Amino acid sequence: MKLRALFKFVFVSTVALYLLAVIAPGTLADDNFAPGIQELYKLDRLAVFRESVEVASQSSYDRTGGNNDGFGGQYSYVRKEDDGLVLVDLKGPGVIYRIWTPTPTDDVMEFYFDGESEPRIKIKFREMFMGGHPVFVRPLVGYGAGGFYSYIPLPYEKSCKILIRAERIQFYQINYATYPKETAIKTFSSKASNEYRRHLEKAMRLFDSCGSDISSYTAAPGEKIERLRSSKALKPGEAVTVFEVDSPGRIVGIRMGPAEAFAGKNRDIVLRAYWDGDKKAAILSPAGDFFGYAWGKPAMKSLLIGTADGTNYCYYPMPFDKSARIELVSQQDSSAKQTTIETEVMFAPIGRRNNEGKFYAIWRRENPTTKGKPFTFIRTGGRGHLVGFIQQSQAFESGGTYFFEGDDQTTIDGKLVIHGTGSEDFYNGGWYDVPGRWEAKRSFPLSGCLGYKKHLGRTGGYRLLLGDAYAYRKSILQTIEHAPTGNELLNDYCGLTFLYSQARPTCQFKLPAASDRKVVDLKRIVFATWWNVPIYAFSYRDMTLTKAGEKFDGKDVRFLSMKAKGNDWFGHHFICFTCELPAAGTYKVSLDVIKGPGQGKAQLFMDEAPVGPVVDMYAEKREHAPNEYIATLDLNEGPNNLLFKLVGKSEKSEGLGLDLTGIICERAD
């Protein structure tokens, strides 16, 4: 039996068996639902249009258009009171959905509801994110990648004011939504009811389930989930349908693997999904990027989408009216091997209701970005709500990610309502390129860092929206800057936007040609030894390492300074750095050094054999030498240990030193 016919048979059988349980198309009714805590776990409602009249944020962004988004604290409050700073003062009914900062303090924060003179909540700012307070519990609050976040919804019927007892704070963002006056929102109570505790426990269990099958949350209570599996051979240059049905329903989960089949820098396997006979795809993305791959490798393990245990998954509910089809398209060249793709689609025979949108996923690349204009995730008319973003960013030169100073901006129905404070801040992080903060791949339920590589100029992140979804009734424009100010830096930006829309979004759905989707590896890579290049090993005795800086021709130059005397136990003094390269090949290796009267002679060794010339670092005066050739080597993709030895010194030299600013690896093949 053909797979399509099998799916039809399964569907008809399901309808016959569960006809009485099927809810007729219409409005999703839930008399006990109200905006707030339930939105954190009732994922079956993700497609439901929001009734909010305003979605907005208060943040510490620089109102002058500069980059002082919290450093100085001038914009980190809405007003001062006698003994504190008011962070927000909101009129209800509404809900605060997200609070974020990278700079928590031990100052006391107070929450005043409905005009009360005494706060219902008093807590030290830092302790709000630690998980020890009965209101702010993990994993609905947390920290990591440099940021501290809370997703505990704080509903208010009339008003909510947040005040911090401090003279100064720095970075913060508070996201909220305002609802129509008749909305049944009950003000947050410091004494949790049994009903609230049940909701809270369900949300906590869900947030602890990243990478697990959460289809029981994405399907409505009482919906029967069918698990439809397929195994398809994907051949180069061909397309395969992995799921198809010609009746109303909704997808409540997708699992697809093996994950390694979608890895690679070419982005030449495309995922497409079609709803209700539309000839244009609703999901159109490189398959790996859809599941959170970054620069060709799995990088994301969130609540709703990502990779776990070698399998990709997505749990965004996808309702449709009469039909659905999901396919994979291989645009690989003929030399690629045939791959078998195992797919499991979790399906419920409940058609799209009239208060639900259809699911869309839009992949865009700007390479290069446009000078003077921010990167655009999406610009569309109609009604809907944005529910997620994934971003990969890369500079055109090695050694920095200054573009990540850029702010996110959201314009809803023609009004700028959200202005962020920095790119990693948008993804709940903070302080990129700082050890222990935004400097490595990290995944949390609703946000994370896809990776950080200073030497490759790469970083990226993701953020998923639940109660804090960006709802719009007429139009939405979501952008992010690619420079601290003015969008003056040109970069390579890729963005994926997840949304629900009443009608097909009005933006263009089109992927670049396969040749224009590839990950571009830098040819010249600089490892800044004065910053954070890993040191694999160095001399076992009589050597010191310090970090220092000097001015040369009016410019500050930082360097790692080695000073040695005599010999090491096993011969010459040495230092070995771990240099990670994006691709295998032949590389010309050079050093960025400071020459001077106290410097020695350096040589590169591999397997205890010299592989390049001896380079004398002696000079009569201190001088910056940014490009001293030391060897040409065949190096591997990934980590390479480069070992430099001090093999002696000039007769004129006063010492045995090496002041090293950087290691330069440049493709020679």
Question: Which structure tokens are listed for 66?
Answer: 């500069």
Place of tokens 């409905």: 114
- CATH 2.60.120.260 in the chain, residues? 525-667
- Contact predicate 117/161, CB 8 Å: no
DSSP string, 270-287: EEEEEETT-SS-SEEEEH
Name the CATH superfamily for 525-667. Answer: Galactose-binding domain-like (2.60.120.260)
Q: Identify the CA nearest to 318 among candidates 46, 594, 25, 581.
A: 46
pLDDT of residue 335: 87
**pLDDT reported for residue 223:** 87
| DSSP H or E run through 8 | helix 3-18
DSSP string, 470-504: EEESSEEEEEE-SSSSTT-S-EEEEEEEEEEESS-
Local structure of 456: helix, strand or coil: helix
**Phi and psi angles of residue 94, each rounded to the nearest 5 degrees, phi first:** -165, 180
> How many residues would you count in the chain?
669
Low-confidence ranges of the chain (pLDDT < 50): 1-25
Contact (Cβ atoms closer than 8 angstroms) between residue 266 and residue 518: yes
DSSP string for 634-655: EE-SEEEEEEEEEEE--TT-SS
Structural contact between residues 318 and 359, judged by C-beta atoms closer than 8 angstroms? yes
How far apart are the C-alpha atoms of 242 and 329, rounded to whole Å?
11
CA dist 241 and 328 (Å) reads 6
d(Cα 288, Cα 129) in Å, to the nearest integer?
32
- CATH 2.60.120.1390 range(s) for the chain read 1-31+212-356, 37-207
- DSSP conformation class of 82: T
Q: 41: which DSSP letter?
A: T
CATH class of the structural domain 37-207: mainly beta
Tell me the per-residue pLDDT of 282-293, one tens digit each, with 9 for 90 and over.
999 999 999 999
pLDDT, position 32: 84
Q: What is the pLDDT of residue 9?
A: 38
Predicted TM-score (pTM) of the model is 0.93
- CATH number assigned to the domain with residue range 1-31+212-356, chosen from the 4 options 3.30.590.10, 2.50.20.10, 3.30.540.10, 2.60.120.1390: 2.60.120.1390
CA distance 613 to 604: 8
